[in-house]
A and B are shown apart, each in its own frame.
Chain A
Amino acid sequence: MKRDHQETIGGAGNSMANKAESSSSSMATGKGKLWVEDDQDAGGMDELLAVLGYKIKSSEMADVAQKLEQLEMVLGSEDGISHLASDTVHYNPSDLSGWVQSMLSELNNLPSTDLDSSTLLSNNQDSNPSTMTSLDFPINSQSKAFVDDSEYDLRAIPGVAAYPQREFDKSNERKRMKLTLVGSNTAPTLAVNSIQSSNSSCTPSSPQAIMAVSGTLSEPTRPVVLIDSQETGVCLVHTLLACAEAIQQENLKLADALFKHIGVLAASQVGAMRKVATYFAEALARRIYKIFPQDHCLDSSYSDALEMHFYETCPYLKFAHFTANQAILEAFANASRVHVIDFGLKQGMQWPALMQALALRPGGPPAFRLTGIGPPQPDNTDALQQVGWKLAQLAQTIGVEFEFRGFVASSLADLEAEMLDLRPPEVEAVAVNSVFELHRLLDRPGGIDKVLGSIKAMRPKIVTIVEQEANHNGPVFLDRFTEALHYYSSLFDSLEGSGVTPTSQDLVMSELYLGRQICNVVACEGADRVERHETLARWRTRFDSAGFNPVHLGSNAFKQASMLLALFAGGDGYRVEENNGCLMLGWHTRPLIATSAWQLAAEDSRLR
C-alpha cells in the first residue's frame, strides 16, 4: 500500500528542491527492482534520472537512496547543520552519489544516534495543512517487517504499560520523507491520512518548531507520547481503533484502559482532531459503561436548534435543499397545482427558496400545497403548525396560493398514502422530499420497504432523497466505527476550514449536532441507533428494486450548487461531484452527502 502511495506521488518537490524529488523516484526504483531493470542499460547510468540531470549508476541506486534519506532527515533537524546544505561546495551536482557522499562525510563527526533518530516535526494543524502529505519510509529491513499496515497492532499489547515503550520504538525505527503535493486533493486531517496508510501524516510546509529527538533518545524509558503531537495524533487514532476492537471482542477491561489513554492523547491535540477524538471517546465511554443517551424523540426542539446552527455554519444542508428544490422545480414545470410532501419538516428551511422560485416562474406561480411530517413533541406543542404558519405568511407576501397540513408520526413507517388526502395526478403534481430521514428506517427489516411502498402509492412526479454518503450500518461494530471516524473527521475538518471563528456559538452548536450523531452511531444499538447511514450505491439498489427510475439532476442544479459553495469561506475545500445523475458534496476528496432524484418506473406510472 505504501508503494502505491509513493509511486503515484513521486516527482513532487520540497524545500530541499530537487534532491528529494530525485530521491523519491530513486526510492521508488530502489524498492521496485523490476521497474529499474526495465530502464537501465547494462552497467550504465539510470536513464530516468539522467533525464532529470542526475548521473547515478543504477547499481548504486539503492545505496544512494538510503544515504539521501539519512541526509534529508538529518538536515531537517534543528541541530544547526542545515547550514551545511549551503556551505558545502559541490563541483559536480549531477553526480548525485558523489554529492551524497561528501555531505555525509561532513556529518560523520556527529553522533550516530542522530542519524538513526527520526525527525519528528511538530504538527501544527492550523497552518495550511491542505497542501502537504508526508509518507513514512522505513528504510532498514527490520522496520520493513515491523511496519504493519493494520491499525490493530496494539491488540497484542497486554495492558497499557507496554504501550508507550513500543510506541517509542516505532518512532525510533521509522524515517520520514517529506513530499509536497502541490494543490493536493488528499484530505488534510491527521486522522484520515493515518487511517488510510498508518504511516502517513501531515506536516507543515515550513519546519516550525522541529523537535529533535536527541533529548528523548538519551533516556529511552521516558514516554515520548506528549512531545510530538503529530506522533500522538497517529497514536490517538490507533488507540481509538484498538479500544473499539476491544469492545467488539467484549474485552471491556482493556477497552477501559485504552479509553483512559485516549483522554491523555486527545488533550495534546488541537483543532478538529481533538474535537473528533473527544466525541468518539465519549461515545466509546457510553458504550463501555453502558450509559446510553436519552431517547432521541424527546428532544426534537433541541436538535432542531442545533440543526439550525449547522445550517448556518456549513453548506451541507443548503446544498441539500437547493439541489432537491431544483429537481422539484424542474419536475413541476408545467403543473398548475403542486403538492410537496416533506418527510422531515423541522423548521421548513427548504421551502422559502422553492416558493420564491415558483413565484417567479414564467407563467405565474402554481397553487402550492405542503404536507409536513414531524415527530411527536414532548410538550404537545404543535411545532408543525407554527412552521406552517410562517410559511403561509411568506407565501402571502410573495403571492403564492398556499395550503399546509402537518402530520405527526413517530416513524415514517406509520404513514399511509390515504392519510394524506392526495388528489389525482391530473389535478396536482406530487413531490416527495426526504432530507436525512430515510436512513432511520433501516433498524428493522421491512420498515424501508413499507415506506417505499407508501411513496409509490402517493404517485409522485418526483422523489428527492438526500442522504449521508457513508456506510455506518454494517453488521460489524468495528467497521462502523472506522467508517464513522473517517467520515466525521472530514466533516469536522470542513467545519474548521469554514472560516468561522473558533469560539463562536454557531461552530460549537454545529459540532454538538454532529457529536450527537457520532454518539448514536457508536454507542447505541437496536432501535435506538437511528443514524444508519448508507452509501448512495446501496440506496440506488434499493430504489431500483422497489420500482423507481433515476432522474438526472441537471446542470442547473450543478451550477447553483457550485455557486453556493463558492460563497462559503473555505469554498475551495468543498467539491461538488456529479455521479451518474446524482450530485455529491464532499470535502476535498471525500464525498459526504449525496442528492438523488427518482420517479416511478414506467409500468407503475399512469398519466405521464
Chain B
Amino acid sequence: MEDNVKEKRPKFCINDHVDILLEILKRLDGRSLCVSACVCRLWCTIARNDSLWEHLCFRHVSPPPSSGVRPVVVALGGYKRLYMVCVRPVLRRLGRLRLAGDSDRVRRVWTRDEVQLSLSLFCVDYYERLGRLGGGGDASGSSLMFLCKPVNV
C-alpha cells in the first residue's frame, strides 16, 4: 500500500525542469540571483547564463533597448558584469536618493537615462581594464571605484 502511494506520486525535482527554473530565476532581483548561484552546480551554471542578467538589467525599461545593445554589452564583458559593476550601484545610489524610505531594496523601475549612464560607465570600465592589461599605468585605480564606495547620504 505504501509503495503504491510512493509510486503514484512522482517525486518532483525542480532540477529536472530547467525551463521552469529559468522562468523563476528570471523574476528574481540581483541579490537573490547571486544567492541562487550558490545552491548547487546546476543552479550555478544556470545563474551564470547571461540572458538572465540581461533580463534583469532591462526588465523594466520601456521601450526595450534596441538589438544593437546586446553585442556591445557582451563584447564589453557581459550583462552580469554590467549589472554588478554599473547598473546595481547606479540604481542603488539614485534610488536611495529618490525614495526616502525603502532604501535597502534596489529600485525596480528605472529610466533609459540611467541605463544609458550605466552603459557609458561600463564602457569606460572596459577601456580602463584594457589599459591595465596592456601594462600601461598602475593597476590600482579604477574610475568606477567611486561606485563601490559607501555613499554618505
Contact = CB atoms under 8 A, between A and B. Distances in A.
Interface of A: 305, 308-309, 311-313, 318, 322, 347-349, 352-353, 355-357, 359-360, 362, 364, 386, 390-391, 393-394, 397-399, 498-500, 505-506, 556, 559-560, 563-564, 566-572
30 contacts: A305-B137, A305-B138, A309-B141, A312-B141, A352-B127, A353-B121, A355-B123, A356-B72, A357-B116, A359-B72, A360-B66, A360-B69, A360-B72, A360-B119, A362-B66, A364-B68, A390-B134, A394-B123, A397-B75, A398-B72, A398-B76, A399-B72, A499-B149, A500-B149, A506-B141, A506-B145, A559-B113, A563-B113, A563-B117, A569-B146
B123 A349 contact: no
B114 interface: yes
Interface of B: 65-66, 68-69, 71-72, 75-76, 89-90, 93-94, 97, 113-114, 116-117, 119-124, 126-127, 130-131, 134, 136-138, 140-143, 145-147, 149-153
Contact of B90 (A311, A313, A322, A567): A567
A341 B66 CA distance: 29
Nearest to B120: A353
Interface SS, A side: helix
Given A560-B117, A566-B93, A505 B71 contact: no
A313 B65 CA distance: 31
Contacts of B97: 566, 571
A248 B146 CA distance: 42
A496 B141 CA distance: 18
A312 B124 contact: no
A356 B120 contact: yes
B132 to A, nearest CB: 11
Contacts of A349: 124, 127, 143
B145 A360 contact: no
Contacts of B147: 567
A568 B90 CA distance: 10
A214 to B, nearest CB: 38
A398 B116 CA distance: 15
A267 B151 CA distance: 30
Contacts, number: 111
Nearest to A390: B130
Nearest to B130: A390
Given A356-B119, A356-B120, A567-B90, A397 B76 contact: yes
A407 B66 CA distance: 37
A25 to B, nearest CB: 33
A391 B124 CA distance: 11
A170 B90 CA distance: 51
Given A390-B131, A563-B114, A398 B123 contact: yes
Contacts of B126: 352, 394, 397
A559 to B, nearest CB: 6
A505 B75 contact: no
A570 B65 CA distance: 32
A567 B120 contact: no
Given A353-B121, A356-B123, 19 more contacts: A312-B146, A313-B146, A352-B124, A359-B72, A360-B65, A390-B134, A393-B130, A394-B126, A394-B127, A394-B130, A397-B75, A499-B149, A499-B150, A499-B152, A563-B117, A567-B90, A567-B93, A568-B146, A569-B151
Contacts of B124: 349, 352-353
A572 B93 CA distance: 12
Contacts of A569: 146, 149-152
A568 B148 CA distance: 10
Contact of A567 (B113, B140, B146): B146
Contacts of B123: 352-353, 355-356, 394, 398
A308 B137 contact: yes
Among B69, B113, B117, B122: residue with most chain A CB under 10 A: B117
Contacts of A397: 75-76, 126
B25 to A, nearest CB: 27
Given A356-B119, A566-B94, A398 B75 contact: yes
B70 to A, nearest CB: 10
Contacts of B143: 311-312, 318, 349
Among A305, A349, A393, A567: residue with most chain B CB under 10 A: A567
A364 B113 CA distance: 19
A359 B75 CA distance: 12
Nearest to A389: B134
A308 B97 CA distance: 28
Among B66, B68, B127: residue with most chain A CB under 10 A: B127
B111 to A, nearest CB: 9
Contacts of B75: 397-399
A559 B65 CA distance: 19
A36 to B, nearest CB: 43
Contacts of B117: 560, 563-564
Top 7 A-B residue pairs of the complex, sorted by shortest distance between their CB atoms: A356-B123, A352-B127, A353-B120, A397-B75, A352-B123, A398-B72, A569-B151
A30 B47 CA distance: 73
Nearest to B135: A386
Contacts of A391: 127
Nearest to A498: B146
A250 B17 CA distance: 87
B121 to A, nearest CB: 8
Contacts of A500: 149
Contacts of A567: 89-90, 93-94, 146-147
Contact of B145 (A312, A398, A556): A312
Contacts of A356: 72, 76, 119-120, 122-123
B68 A360 contact: yes
Contacts of A353: 120-121, 123-124
Nearest to A325: B120
A557 B127 CA distance: 22
A357 B120 contact: yes
Nearest to B117: A563
A362 B72 CA distance: 14
Contacts of A499: 149-152
Nearest to B146: A568
A308 B152 contact: no
A279 B43 CA distance: 56
A390 B128 CA distance: 9
Nearest to A394: B127
